[in-house]
Amino acid sequence: MTKRMVVTDQAFGGTAIEEELARARGVEFFSHQVTSEADTIAVTAGADIVLVNFAPITESVLAGLASGATVIRYGIGYDNVDAAAARRHGVAVANVPDYGTETVADHAAACLLALLRKLPLYDRAIRADGWCQPAGLGSLPGFASTTIGLIGAGRIALSLAGRLRPFGFRVVAYDPYADGGLADQAGVKLIALEEVLAQASAISLHVPVTQETRHLVDRRFLDALRVGTVLVNTSRGGVVDEAALADALSSGQLAAAALDVFDPEPLDPESPLRSLQNVLLTPHAAFFSDDSVVALQRLATEEAGRALAGDPLRSRIV
């Protein structure tokens, strides 16, 4: 029986790389842009290979796949895939953990620099009032006297630290699972979470969504920060309690935030984050560059090729 390869959804504008693999292997190929569970069930029924961006890969979806199927997540996080259900149904799951490390680190660095130099606020003040004095928006410490706190010290966080080092920042991090040797090489000091929150003038989030990290950034977390801290999230929206964040931004506990990810996505049209002037919003774009998109499709398709050939997967999760 001819195998079936299905792309549930993608943000690349095309699937030429995936189609080329399917032709070369004599595999049926289908590409869709589904978002609901019902539509995902319908388009993946009997599929041997599923490449997924944000479509929900639930137990019901997994139950309808071919025996021994493989699900490949376009990207690092896989919180839209029910990993426990995949194990029960004998479905292999893989991700692409290294396609966009540098691009996400670039985006996080750009956000941190913009917030710490108050660029969005200066811009808005000039547009609204015609002009403002440099000191009109309050204190503006130099980078050499600023501590950046990283929550998570994995590949992306350490790449970010490398970008920040030439500016003179002190960088500390909390990550109970981090490789201390790699952190030392990157010039990052690993300390307790409470110490990071007490010392940092800027927080950058770099953790997946798990039971341990969901709403890690809650009211207690935000209250423990120094008044006037800025926060950047390029990890996952579920790490942040958005209601608590909006309150902290409104009260001045947080000076500003740059958010690339939300829970759910797109950001709720009624979210108070949309109307706050001290929030910089980007549309889950930290991963995106011409180079990273090509790398992501290529690496995901190569993983699909390994699955079709029965070879070990490069980045198997389940």
Cite the active site residues.
236, 265, 284
3-state secondary structure of 130: coil
In the chain, the N- to C-terminal Cα span, in Å, equals 25
Q: Which two tokens stand for residue 186?
A: 């990157």
Q: Which two tokens stand for residue 155?
A: 């590949």
Q: Distance between alpha carbon 122 and the CA centroid of its chain, in Å?
A: 27
For residue 86, give Cα distances in angstroms to 6, 37, 77, 82, 91.
17, 15, 16, 6, 5
What are the two backbone dihedrals, phi and then psi, of residue 6, each rounded to the nearest 5 degrees?
-125, 130
Cβ proximity of 29 and 5 under 8 Å:
yes
Token pair recorded at residue 207: 């953790």
Secondary structure class of 13 (helix, strand, coil): coil
Report yes or no: 252 and 228 within 8 Å, Cβ to Cβ: yes
Coil/strand/helix, residue 256 = strand
Kindly state the helix (H) or strand (E) to which residue 229 belongs, with its residue range: strand 229-233
Q: Which residues sit opposite 94 in a β-bridge?
A: 72, 316
Apex CA 283: angle with CA 279 and CA 286, to 5°?
Answer: 95
